[in-house]
Amino acid sequence: MAYKIAVIPGDGIGPEVIEAALHVIEPLIDAEFVEGEAGDECAEKHGDPLPEDTLELCHEADAILFGAAGETAADVIVRLRQELDLYANIRPVRGFPGLRELTGEPYVRDDVDFVIVRENTEGLYSGIEGRFRDTAYTLRIITEEGTRRIAEVACDLAEERGSNTVTCVHKANVMRETCGLFREVCKEVVESRGLEFEEYYVDAAAMFMITEPERFDVVVTPNMFGDILSDEAAALVGGLGLAPSGNVGDRHGLFEPVHGSAPDIAGKGIANPFATILSAVMMLEWLGEDEAAEAVREAVGEAIREGVVTPDLGGDKKTMEVAEFVREAALNRVQ
């Protein structure tokens, strides 16, 4: 089956890591890759960080692979999440054998494996904010419908992973109405699915994710909490260079690395491509291309075991050298 994949390289290291990910997956999938413009340079060139033709391309595509956005991130990726109703931001936290030795960091774990399911369209990122005289304000929007559907996604993932527990992270003891509603609806959905409901206040969850990450399997949480916790959790698996994500809804899926545009290293050829390659793995899984997805994930693990990594992980390889290794290792697994 031929897919139409929208590719948005974006800013900074975005084009470099997208090139690397495409180099890996192109021989593994029957697809047409169509590039769209978005981001800071696009805004300077066209006066619009997210042109209508790019938005139309995303609506038409079977999936979207996104690189990184710079200063216009709110106008690009946040808008895409809302326009395409990508209400679930799925951020796996998965270690690879050999990472601790590579990084030399004692807190890096090879055995971590949990996933954060972040509500993606509401909360403090609703975009409803303003100023009145000397006061600025933001409205934190939590709806029953929005919470119910993100809780269902978390339950689906728990069942896929063979887990019987979903952990809700909130701050209902302080934000009694908004987090209170989120907690109530999540509890109702989880228990109606025959799963066990666990809960933590977000500050406690932040501590336990570092000290006892084995407590977690599937975590469901409002928008901003999920954004912060997933970046924190990335430290356990070698940093943001190994943190993929998928933004999914009922019809569309957009896949992107958690990291930003990293302008300080853009153009140097040393950006870690693993987060984008692993985001492409999530895209392959979402499309139902499970064999190709598993081949690439195993190839990333082989690269890490062999020390074929960029400087941020203690290696000396260039971005495309890593991509070439992963490509060949993946191809060997499907032949």
Q: Are 13 and 320 in contact (CB under 8 A)?
A: no
Q: Does 203 participate in catalysis according to the annotation?
A: yes
pTM of the prediction?
Answer: 0.95
Percent of the chain surpassing pLDDT 90:
94
Percent of the chain surpassing pLDDT 70:
100
Nearest CA-CA partner of 279 in 306, 259, 308:
259
Confidence grade of residue 1 (pLDDT, cut at 50, 70, 90): low
* Average pLDDT of span 32-55: 94
Q: Does domain 1-97+243-335 have CATH number 3.40.50.720?
A: no
For 134-193, how does the pLDDT look when each residue is reduced to its tens digit (9 = 90+)? 999 999 999 999 999 999 999 999 999 999 999 999 999 999 999 999 999 999 999 999
* Average pLDDT of span 274-287: 98
Q: Does 3 participate in catalysis according to the annotation?
A: no
Choosing from 203, 250, 290, 316, the catalytic residue is 203
Choosing from 40, 227, 312, 317, the catalytic residue is 227
pLDDT confidence of residue 125: 86
Q: Span 109-237: which CATH code?
A: 3.40.718.10
Q: Are 258 and 279 in contact (CB under 8 A)?
A: no
Q: Does 134 participate in catalysis according to the annotation?
A: no
Domain residue ranges in the chain: 1-97+243-335, 109-237
Q: Does 171 participate in catalysis according to the annotation?
A: yes
Q: How far is CA 142 from CA 64, 159, 222, in A?
A: 27, 25, 8
pLDDT confidence of residue 335: 76
- Locate 309 and state its tokens: 């990594």
- The C-alpha atoms of residue 170 and residue 192 are separated, in whole angstroms, by 20
103 pLDDT exceeds 90? no
For 43-52, how does the pLDDT look when each residue is reduced to its tens digit (9 = 90+)? 999 999 999 9
Choosing from 40, 75, 87, 125, the catalytic residue is 125
Average pLDDT, the chain: 96
Q: Which residues of 272-300 are buried (b: 16+ CB within 10 A; e: fewer)?
A: bbbbbbbbbbbbbbbbebeebbbbbbbbb
Q: Are 117 and 218 in contact (CB under 8 A)?
A: yes
Please count the residues of the chain. Answer: 335
* Average pLDDT of span 10-37: 97
- Locate 40 and state its tokens: 């800071």
- The C-alpha atoms of residue 103 and residue 127 are separated, in whole angstroms, by 38
Nearest CA-CA partner of 234 in 260, 209, 204:
209
Q: Does 231 participate in catalysis according to the annotation?
A: yes
pLDDT confidence of residue 169: 98
Choosing from 40, 87, 171, 200, the catalytic residue is 171
